[in-house]
Structure 1
Amino acid sequence: MDESLIAADEEGIPEGFAGQRMLVVPRAAVDRALRHPLTGKLLVTDAGHFPHAARHGRSRPQGAAEHVLLVCTGGSGWCRTGGTRFPVSRGGVVLLPADRPHAYGAAEQDPWTLWWLHFTGADAADLVRTAHEAAGGPVTHLRDPAPVASLVSQVIDALDTGPTLAALVRGSGAAWHALAHVVATGRRAPGPQPSPLERAVAHLRATAPQRTSVAALASMVGLSPSHLSARFREHLGVSPLQYQVQLRMARARELLDGTDLPVTAVARETGFDDPMYFSRQFHHHHAMTPTAYRDRPQGT
């Protein structure tokens, strides 16, 4: 694809990509966060997920104001920087330094699925440089991109709660973890790896009680939503959404058994905004209300 057409092509898709998520931190909040001792070291300014991103691409002759991380979990594309064009396929990770001219785009026949971050901060350039040294350049390959995609998803979830300091700190922590994973595991030698189902379950356990859509979960592990749902039902006996409810119910039991939190707080801690709905769901799964569960005789 001609890089000169990339920006125009992307602008020609007014609705974006089906199932996409994209969060942009207001620049006033970015300026404040960069002066904070925690988020000033590493701060995510933008994050997103573009599934099956046909005709997607960017051409930045002057580079971007922030460093850019792209993680491909399906399909393929390309990146051009420093006078070299690199192919990018599933497992490909692109790290582009700030202010460095670059262009990238999805393949026409099999467009990539991307999880991406823009980040800045006092330590950001050192992280990018370390990753380049480990990989021998701006593009590396992960045997399993799902853990990094999961961490980018956690960044998106954090930013989605609003540009509070707590949310930005959570996003920064997940971004640190993602970049460290790229440095430590890029170009890893072939060998046994977890199955797509195991990777999906690991993400759900790591992010519970936060809910993840089946489409987003499938794109992390390189399966279609229907295929992933079939594997859940075959091996776990439930759908991905039902499995998430089971995780939330398990956490609710822990809190009811091990804390004195009121039921409304237990509902909130397990991802239910409506305590009445939480109580109905708990009764459906345990044949008793949360209060009755807490008051039951010991040993039952």
Structure 2
Amino acid sequence: MQQDRQTDISYEGGQVVAFPKKILSKCSRLPLIQRLYINRMGIFPHAVNHYYKREAGQVSYAVLLYCFDGEGWIILGKKKFILKAGDAYIIPPFSAHSYGAADKSPWSIFWVHIAGSGAGEIADAVKITQKDAPIHTVYSEERNNLFNQMLKTLSNGFSVANLLYANLILPNYLGSFICPASFNSFSTTSPIEENILNEAVLFMKKNVEQKITVEVVAKHIGMSPSFFFKQFKKHTGYSPVAYFNFLKIQKAIQLIHTTQYNISEVGSKIGIDDPYYFSRLFKKQMGISPRQYINEFILPSRTYQ
């Protein structure tokens, strides 16, 4: 009988953004990004016991792993590569591979799964400028800002505008690895002042484990509920309730990946005590149930000994 609990895997502080299947289908039809778009992405700091193994033909996306601390390894075919801080590697689609964190100093990684008709060309592009080995990079605040822009944008919802913005950053981020010598290391990111709707989103995120209403959020930011509802939907594409539920499910995904809670406990941690409602809400957003998500993305990592 399969267990809901992760017994030995925990990445405290980890973040994951996972796309519902209907959103991935939308990305595949958007002309500007259909050749390259993000499938999933995240950060795993100090990823003790992190491990994945995929058979040939199992996945159609490329996998970018960027180690920013510690050490890990990748096996691709008959070759094994060691990744240390500053190293990155792009695994081609459909290839048999495995990777994992070192035992003594487990890696911390930024990772992106990249889908689209051009995903198979990424690794080929790397070979034009790099030998068949990990890409070594120097620390770049600009590179990290690009990643964080993508992650933050997608964490705020899957509107068409967010999908386009994040995925149009993706080629620039990939370029920082494909041609690292040509990548400018200075940061051009300027601070953005938070407005009143940013404050509403921040309030939702801070209270994602609670049961809060539109009226509560509106009162917090000093708006009438009706005006707040109209303004929020206008600027985000979501109703406040739908957006709050989106935040809850994305938080649930992070808990599933980075903690040792079972499915029922995860629901309680995001303020949903009814496991059946949690499962329905999860499936409505992600296209699959929590159990199916675990079977596809979590259980493969438990085969590591």
Structure 2 length normalisation: TM-score? Answer: 0.59
Mapping for residues 268-287 of structure 1, pairs under 5 Å: 268=196, 271-273=198-200
The CA deviation string for residues 236-262 of structure 1, in whole angstroms up to 9 with x for no partner, is xxxxxxxxxxxx3xxxxxxxxxxxxxx
The CA deviation at 1:121 is 1.5
Please name the residue that 2:195 is paired with. Answer: 267
For residues 186 and 69 of structure 1, what CA distance do their matches in structure 2 show? 18
Contact 1:79/1:103 (<8 A) preserved: yes
Please name the residue that 2:76 is paired with. Answer: 81
Inter-CA distance 278–132: structure 2 relative to 1 (3 Å threshold): farther
* Equivalent position to 1:208, from 173, 179, 191: 191
Please name the residue that 1:116 is paired with. Answer: 111
The CA deviation string for residues 8-67 of structure 1, in whole angstroms up to 9 with x for no partner, is 9x95346x3110000111011101220111121211010000011111111112253311
Mapping for residues 74-153 of structure 1, pairs under 5 Å: 74-137=69-132, 139-144=134-139, 146-153=141-148
Contact 1:79/1:88 (<8 A) preserved: yes
The CA deviation at 1:140 is 1.1
Contact 1:143/1:187 (<8 A) preserved: no
Please name the residue that 1:44 is paired with. Answer: 38
Bigger relative contact order, structure 1 or 2, given CA contacts below 8 A and separation 6+? Answer: 2
The CA deviation at 1:136 is 1.4
Larger Rg: 1
- Structure 2: gaps spanning 5 or more residues: 204-217, 223-305
Structure 1 length normalisation: TM-score? Answer: 0.60
Letter in 2 for 1:272: E
Letter in 1 for 2:25: D
Contact 2:70/2:106 (<8 A) preserved: yes
- Tell me the secondary structure at the aligned position of residue 206 of structure 1: coil
For residues 150 and 14 of structure 2, what CA distance do their matches in structure 1 show? 15
* Equivalent position to 2:165, from 152, 167, 170: 170
- Answering whether residue 142 of structure 2 is matched by residue 159 of structure 1, we say no
The CA deviation string for residues 65-101 of structure 1, in whole angstroms up to 9 with x for no partner, is 3111111111111111021100100011010011001
- Structure 1: gaps spanning 5 or more residues: 1-7, 210-247, 249-265, 280-300
- Tell me the secondary structure at the aligned position of residue 41 of structure 2: strand
For residues 51 and 154 of structure 1, what CA distance do their matches in structure 2 show? 18
